[in-house]
Structure 1
Amino acid sequence: MNKEQDILRWFNGELSAEEIKSLYPDEDFSVLERTGFYAKQLEAPKVNAEQALADFKKRTFKKDEPKVISLNFKTFMKIAAVLVVLLTSSYFLFFNNVNSFETQIAQTETFNLPDDSEVILNAQSKLSYNKKEWASSRSLELKGEAFFKVTKGEKFTVQTSAGSIQVLGTRFNVKQRDKYFEVACYEGSVSVTSNQGVVILKPGKTFRVVDGEVVGIKDFNAKSPSWLAQESSFDNVPLWQVIAELEAQYDIQINAEGVNTSELFSGSFTHSDKNIALQSVTIPLKLSYKINGKKVAFYNYESK
């Protein structure tokens, strides 16, 4: 006999409770025991043994149903945060091929590109390139100022918001600040493409665009940019650009209200002493200044 027949015999009194439990010690017969008890208390209707067995089978022999996990909001947010971290990490490990370098106020950084070209990044500047595409296209993006020593090879391109610079192998400096764009060639030749057209620079030549207007090509005698020696030099540059460079090299904010910031300045200032730097700029222009913490005010002598 099988289990179902034995259960029916027990329910009909043909097997005792002890006998059925000894035959199937791992089964729970409490449901059928209660059914049998109540059946004996009633005259009619009689208990349907077949239905009782069916109910018992549903409870005892059916497969476990999958459990539904209930998550509260905090648990859900924790799991979501973990997934975001995992996905972000995967992106940067496997899909993000952009390599970036960035400097802060008064900071410079020197590093080498995949082709062993050297880059020196000036303060408050950012440079980025696609390392996966570098072998086929030596191209990078620059915001700020950098000096390049490019190894010979395929075309080398520096992209800026003001224009692009292309070389084969040379030493040059690119400066792209707000409303100011300047390229200086120290070795080889440089092709500069901007909204104003294309110019070719030879060693000792610099090309400048100020506030959208081409200043022209000028000569210079330096063998390298002055900022590499912790000094900023200018040749007929508007004061507002000199102020911007002071703010890039020192953690200060300069207010020049009432001062003619379009006046041209020729000279230099050191990166190692704030007071000397401010004097180097203000004295030649017959200006004075006042320091209040990180704030500096420029004013004319008569406004003192």
Structure 2
Amino acid sequence: MNKENDILKWFEGEMSSVDLKKKYPNEDFSTLEKLGFYSKQLKAPKVDAEKALADFKAKQVKKNKPKVIPLNFKSFLKIAAIFVVMLTSSYFLFFNNDKSFGTQIAETKTFNLPDNSQVILNAQSKLSFNKKEWKVNRNLELDGEAFFKVTKGEAFTVHTDAGNIQVLGTQFNVKERDNYFEVQCYEGSVKVTSSQGNVVLKPGKSFRLVNGAVVVTKDFNAESPSWLTKESSFSNVPLWQVIEELEVQYDIVISVDDVDTSKLFSGSFTHSNKNVALQAVTIPLKLSYKIEGKNVKFYNYE
């Protein structure tokens, strides 16, 4: 029983792995270490492992009475494995109600939410929500860019690090990248809440926040975001943001050599041809570029 007590202490953090191995140098604790690692990843309710083990043994003794079967080390390992599996199952069945979707570089993904609202995720983006609360609380977390076609119903809110967007039923696009936040309304109306306050957008209106300080509201004339047709379009956008979008669409890393990345760019680039895309960005800004594998360098004309 001393060994079992020591293992329980180790599970509860009262004994270190080093001390446990020193005390029992001939035992292989690799399985226990794996069980301990995965059990710590779970956000399940705290369970008294010692009490659970005692209850299990009591049931075994009662079931097989009057025969008493001692619990050896291998039996304990089996019980520990069952215990972790039960924790994992209960977590995913009862506690993990989060649903998430993600895209990789140069990938887009279309899917429907529980209320049949449609979402199209742009490249390297992630969207998540709580499916259990969805009927009464249509809240989503977005990291990246997405286009929404929202069915009418309860308030629909998209949360980002830069600001929140709330609607009742509409079509809008949200782009939230590092130090860049933009919302475009295509149908209905949306309310944008950010560090700069609140603004309500009507169809054809957009809101832009750059580096948390520069706010731009402008008109646009389009029925949907250009990236839905494999093209990225920009209107007076800093070059550094255009560079980030090129990296997202083409899996490249762009560096600059004595180039002012704060200069503004208006134009577009295709998602289907890397060289054509690079030319579409560099030529209007009187820049050149050099490609070395996945690395691209922008520099001024010599």
State the TM-score, normalized to the length of structure 1. Answer: 0.74
Q: Residue in 1 aligned with 2:289?
A: 289
TM-fit CA distance, 1:76: 6.3
Amino acid in the other structure paired with 2:68 = P
Higher-Rg structure is 1
Structure-to-structure mapping, 1:50-199, within 5 angstroms: 66-71=68-73, 80=80, 83-199=83-199
For the structure 1 residues 67 and 80, does the alpha-carbon distance in structure 2 shift closer, same or farther, using more than 3 Å as the test?
Answer: closer
Partner of 2:260: 260
* Aligned counterparts of 1:124 and 1:66: Cα–Cα separation in 2: 59
CA drift at 1:250: 0.9
Q: 1:101-126 CA deviation, whole Å, 9 max, x = no partner?
A: 01010010001111111000000000
Q: How many residues were matched structurally?
A: 238
After TM superposition, list the pairs within 5 Å mapping 1:202-281 onto structure 2.
202-281=202-281
Residues of 2 paired with 1:292 and 1:153: CA distance?
51
In structure 2, do the counterparts of structure 1 residues 137 and 287 end up closer, same or farther at CA, with 3 Å as the change threshold?
A: same
Aligned letter for 1:215? Answer: V
By how many angstroms is 1:82 displaced? 5.5
With over 3 angstroms needed to count, the CA separation of the structure-2 counterparts of 1:80 and 1:298, relative to structure 1, is farther
- AA of the residue aligned to 2:208: R
Distance 1:291-1:84 versus aligned 2 partners, 3 A rule: farther
Deviations 1:194-225 (A, max 9, x none): 01000010100000000012332100001100
Answer with 251-260 or 184-193: which moved more: 251-260
Q: In structure 2, do the counterparts of structure 1 residues 70 and 112 end up closer, same or farther at CA, with 3 Å as the change threshold?
A: same
SS in 1 for 2:227: helix
Q: Per-residue displacement from partner, 1:86-145 (whole Å, max 9, x unpaired)?
A: 422331122211110010100100011111110000000000011111111111111100
How far apart in 1 are the matches of 2:205 and 2:278?
29
Summarize the Cα distance change of 1:79–1:249 in structure 2 as closer, same or farther, 3 Å threshold. farther
CA distance in 1, matches of 2:283, 2:81: 57
Give the secondary structure class of the aligned counterpart of 2:161: coil
| CA deviation profile, 1:134-163 (whole Å, cap 9, x unmatched) | 111111111100000011111111111101
Listed one character per residue, the Cα deviations across residues 222-275 of structure 1 (whole Å, up to 9, x for unaligned) are 110000000000000001100110111111111114211111100000001111
Give distance in 2, aligned partners of 1:231 and 1:264: 18
Secondary structure of 1:259's match?
Answer: coil
Give 3-state SS (helix, strand or coil) of 1:93's partner.
helix
Relative to structure 1, is the Cα distance of residues 234 and 87 closer, same or farther in structure 2, using a 3 angstrom cutoff? same
The answer for unaligned runs of 5 or more in structure 2 is 1-64
Q: How far 1:169 sits from its partner (Å)?
A: 0.6
Instruction: Check conservation: 1:167, 1:191, Cα contact below 8 A.
Output: yes
SS at match of 1:291: strand
How many Å separate the matches in 2 of 1:243 and 1:113?
Answer: 31
Contact 1:196 1:214 in 2 (8 A): no
Residue 28 of structure 1 corresponds to: none
What TM-score comes out, normalization by structure 2 length?
0.75
* Partner Cα separation in structure 1 for residue 111 and residue 244 of structure 2: 25
What's the Cα RMSD here? 1.8
Q: 1:285 to 1:130 in 2, by over 3 A?
A: same
Residue 188 of structure 2 aligns with an amino acid whose one-letter code is: G
| Cα separation, 1, equivalents of 2:76 and 2:194 | 52
Bigger mean CA deviation after superposition, 209-218 or 198-207: 209-218
SS of aligned partner of 2:73: coil
- 1:68 CA drift (Å): 3.0
Q: How does 1:36-51 map to 2 (within 5 A)?
A: none
Superposition deviation, residue 78 in structure 1:
7.2
Unaligned segments of structure 1, at least 5 residues? 1-62
For residue 256 of structure 1, give the secondary structure of its aligned residue in structure 2. Answer: strand
Letter in 2 for 1:185: C
